[in-house]
Chains A and B, each alone.
Chain A
Amino acid sequence: MSLDPETVRTIAALARLRVAADQLGHLGEELSAIIGFVEQLQGVDTADVAPMTSVIDLLLPERVDAVTDGNCREGVLANAPERIDCFYAVPKVVE
């Protein structure tokens, strides 16, 4: 399995990562080597094996559906790169 520059461009778009056009080829080679390495798993017999969902034998705990936290708007917004009043500001998405 080898990842051509076009495939790398598609994955990068899915991952919202800007990759310079002149890096697509080299990155494709690196990623292909890693995919080639993990490819060996195809030879493992996993018929009738359940995929792991939890590494320890514990049931997911449940709790009462109640508010346990809150009233910390300033704390939450304190790290905003850009804000307007009590909102995060981003480039316009709706005209």
Chain B
Amino acid sequence: MSATLTSMTLAEASQQLQARALSAVELTRAHLDAMASHRSLNAFITETPELALERAAEADARRAQDAALGPLDGIPIAIKDLFCTEGVLTTAASHILDGFRPPYESTVTAKLKAQGAVMLGKTNLDEFAMGSSNITSYYGPVKNPWGPVDGKDLVPGGSSGGSAAAVAAGLCLAATGTDTGGSIRQPASFCGIVGIKPTYGRCSRWGIVAFASSLDQAGAMARSVRDAAMLLQGMVGHDPRDSTSAPVPVPDFAAALGQDIRGLKIGIPREYRIEGMAAEIDALWRQGCAWLEDAGATTVEISLPHTRHALPTYYIIAPAEASSNLARYDGVRFGLRVPGASLDEMYQNTRGEGFGAEVRRRILIGTYVLSAGYYDAYYLKAQKVRTLIANDFREAFRSVDAVLTPTAPSDAFAIGERLDDPIMMYLNDVFTVPTSLAGLPGISVPGGLSGRGLPLGLQVIGRPFDEEAVLRIAAVIERCAGFSGRPRG
């Protein structure tokens, strides 16, 4: 019974709760048990079992009085440990936030809580969401539940690696993630789940630990497109406390799923067929085109000419914003403090000890590109190229309704690989970063398995605020792929 409870979809669980065939407490217990028996994955930094059971009992009480709050009432989910949660340890996977219990709740998690969702715990991530492998976490790497392969544990991708691993292993029905350059989509691809990053401005960033504010966006990770749509629905909406939150109407995402895609034009960007692309990635991409054609869409080759400049642009803008955002960690108001003889020494000691190697690199790069004499050459230049990249998409969307690409250039790699060269690691995000720079909605949906039997995702990119098209196309891929792969657990 317990295994069934942790392998059903969020949509199925929601129906069973509504039909009272199942209680939220039973459902939550089953997931807490699964978390306890999968601690070796290191998917969670903090588990909150008491809080979860309390909220589940409240959900059951509401249901008994016919006062359920909606489809998410009583649904156990995991929260990436980048969302501030009132009174619950929030670490961003960094030593520098030691012991930080926020006195407030992020807008996104407050919305989910208000709809009755049951938080099971806070998931592991790359430190401050900076990474593509989850190995930069102060709390240790997360293992991909699809591993090990050839005796080696695999990364779950990153930065939302704990969320992806928890969803894939059945430790929660869905999870929140955040995506700055691919941090929802790439781990979704590596773990064989669905991950959607909505349009910049869809979700409030208030109360999410900031990495690169012009790129950061929250999103949903789940085992089906419908589940991702349902969780996303609960996360979005205008928030006056975030000035970049968009005051635009929110559609019914799940309603878009039933609609067919006949007549839609799907762009296939020729610049994404990068040199040295793995044959199996190329084959999956072609298969994805064929599925969409079979479903009545037409695929057309398009050009996004500035694609190859996206990664260097990102690796100026993201560190620049990070160096500014992370200036607040100084040992004065919260988190770690390492003493020093003067205030300045205390700052330096705290930050020197509190940040890990990748975060330190990015703060230094960001400080450098923003410093006097280099600002125009690097930062301003990157902001101009970013305009060109966004214009490429705007131009393409005059003639196509969505864009199809692979999500990542490879399947999951082993923990410990690709560590020596930061730039090699950055290449993981080659297909996801342009979407982030342009602020567009993107989803990764499992398309098939690699030669090694590991999941591979396809990415659908849409027009601004057109998550409906993205979800609808992803649902077609999901149906055609018939991906039912589950990790051996």
Contact = CB atoms under 8 A, between A and B. Distances in A.
B258 interface: no
Given A37-B423, A56-B246, A78 B378 contact: no
A51 B380 contact: yes
Given A49-B384, A56-B200, A79-B333, A34 B103 contact: no
A31 B365 contact: yes
Contacts of A38: 312-313, 315-316, 369, 378, 382
Contacts of B334: 79-81
Contacts of B399: none
A18 B353 contact: yes
Interface in A56-76: 56-58, 60-61, 63, 72, 75-76
Interface footprint category on A: 35 or more
Contacts of B438: 55
Contact of B388 (A33, A49, A57, A72): A49
B364 A27 contact: yes
Interface string B335-348: 11101111111111
Interface stretch (B9-17, B179-187, B355-363): B355-363
Contact of A37 (B100, B315, B330, B381): B315
B136 to A, nearest CB: 14
A55 B103 CA distance: 31
A76 B355 CA distance: 23
B464 A56 contact: yes
Contacts of A80: 332-334
Contacts, number: 170
Given A11-B364, A31-B361, A46 B384 contact: yes
Contacts of B335: 79, 81
Contacts of A58: 201, 244, 246-247
Contacts of A86: none
A61 B243 CA distance: 6
Contact of B312 (A16, A17, A30, A41): A41
B103 A17 contact: no
